[in-house]
A = this chain, B = another copy of it.
Amino acid sequence: MLTYSFANTGSEPLYLHLYKCIKNDILDGVLLSGTKLPSKRSFAKNLGISNITVENAYAQLQAEGFIYSIPKKGFYITGLPENMPVNRREHINHEAGWIEAGSIMEEESQCKIDLVSNMTPPANFPFSIWAKLMREIISEKSSELMKKSPWGGIMELRSAISMHLKQFRNMDIAPEQIITGAGTEYLYTLIIQLLGYDKVYAVENPGYKKVAQIYKSNNVACEYIPVGSSGIVIEELEKRNADVAHISPSHHYPTGIITPVSRRYEILAWASRKKGRYIIEDDYDSEFRLEGKPVPTLQGIDIMESVIYINTFTKSLAPTIRISYMVLPWKLLKEFHAKLSFYSCTVSNFEQYTLARFINNGYFEKHINRMRNYYRNVRDSLMDEIKKSRLSDICEISEEGSGLHFLLKIHTEIPDNEYVETCRQNNINVSCLSQYYMEDNTQAGAGMDSCNNRQHIIIMNYSGIRMEDVEETVSLLCKSSGITD
């Protein structure tokens, strides 16, 4: 009969020791497929251990499939195929070289000044209020926190967002129309599932490359539509057989163009001309119009139910709290409910409730007002500093009215890629308008300007710039532009 030593088991349970011994013998080919194991009782007696220890060891081996039982006969070894696992640690060590080589590391800006990333300077986030509300929510809502969120999100948050949209955008939205999700990127993928994989999705050129990347990655046709001085060019939408136009009419990134009302109606008219056409209105930084009243949304003047409005708390609160939302027209909402409501909401209940209270108690409005002042000051200081500097001799500022960036056209001969690289070496991370144009350049002249006019325009995204960085920012730009004092 099989015999194993129980001499050096240490603190290991006996059943576990026995289990390992048998398992090793199976893996080593000592115990072959079909071999009958001793009965529990006789095995226990032989080894001087209790029946229950053998039973537990057999149970574990059986659960893992190393042995099987035939009722009233006993336990047998299962057959195993040839190929056996090798030492995996070696493999990991081998691959670790690749990691260390940095090829998979984050390509994040290591520059001191960053005019590219959307960041909230830590001093601007209302940590103490957020912590207080989170604490309140945890102590008051333990049972709601453990209850599955409805697919569109917690009603309290959706109501709060609906109120916010009424106040800030004068939109009449029922909370039920709002669907929350962990980031707009995730919501785009839901929209594709909703509208269909056979549709042609049109994105703005220039524009956020990520939007096009998402459509391509989701295996749908994606067309680049030029943006003229009044927004997206409608004839191009027609020409390229677009079904869905993904646009940011209230503040186009990176040009800053605000699509005028007339063009907005034309876009709606485009959508209404054919069944199945939709507009995705990306309103990502509408809270930060720094001058005048916000422009009305497309959603607000759409009577054909063809606009999906989408917005996020990335800019208005923090990009690291992943809460975005979309507003569906009723017709699409019904479809979404039928087709996609099986998806669980991707936002944590804890943060949904905290954000709802943050909005409902008026903290969000205060925060936005504070941030608007803050950003206005940063922008003004930045523009003042530029005007005071020798950079002003060779540059022009435009599109400074809204959003958290403006354009800085520099009269220089340095090509954009070189300029960006020089900046990086000078510890400042910048991007240029030309980088936001997508490869498709067939429609020369249809865009806002010719290729040449795209050059030497820096996108001054100041959302991550602190007041104390302003001077250095301009000084580094001077340096990078070859200006020395």
Contact = CB atoms under 8 A, between A and B. Distances in A.
Interface stretch (A37-45, A341-349, A362-370, A434-442): A341-349
Interface stretch (A138-146, A422-430, A453-461): A138-146
Contacts of A108: 148, 150
A411 interface: no
18 contacts: A16-B293, A63-B258, A64-B258, A65-B258, A78-B262, A81-B262, A86-B303, A92-B172, A99-B176, A106-B150, A106-B151, A122-B145, A131-B134, A145-B318, A149-B320, A182-B348, A320-B350, A348-B351
Interface string A218-230: 1100000000001
Contacts of A83: 265, 268-269, 272, 303
B351 A350 contact: yes
Interface string A184-200: 01100100010001000
A125 B146 contact: yes
Nearest to A331: B95
B349 A320 contact: yes
Interface stretch (A236-244, A280-288, A332-340, A376-384): A332-340
A377 to B, nearest CB: 19
Given A63-B295, A148-B117, A218-B193, A79 B350 contact: no
Nearest to A213: B342
Contact of A183 (B230, B291, B346): B346
A36 interface: no
A60 interface: yes
A319 interface: yes
A300 B210 contact: no
B351 A351 contact: yes
A347 B346 CA distance: 9
Given A64-B261, A139-B131, A295-B65, A344 B185 contact: yes
Contacts of A64: 258, 260-261, 295-296
Nearest to A19: B293
Interface in A299-351: 300-303, 318-323, 330, 333-334, 337, 339-340, 342-351
A360 to B, nearest CB: 20
Nearest to A125: B146
Contacts of A86: 303
Contact of A266 (B81, B125, B172, B334): B81
Contact of A264 (B65, B119, B121, B319): B65
Contacts of A135: 131, 135
Interface string A96-132: 1011000110101000000001011110010100110
Interface in A52-105: 56, 59-60, 63-66, 68, 78-81, 83, 85-86, 88-89, 91-92, 95-96, 98-99, 103-104
B182 A265 contact: no
A10 interface: no
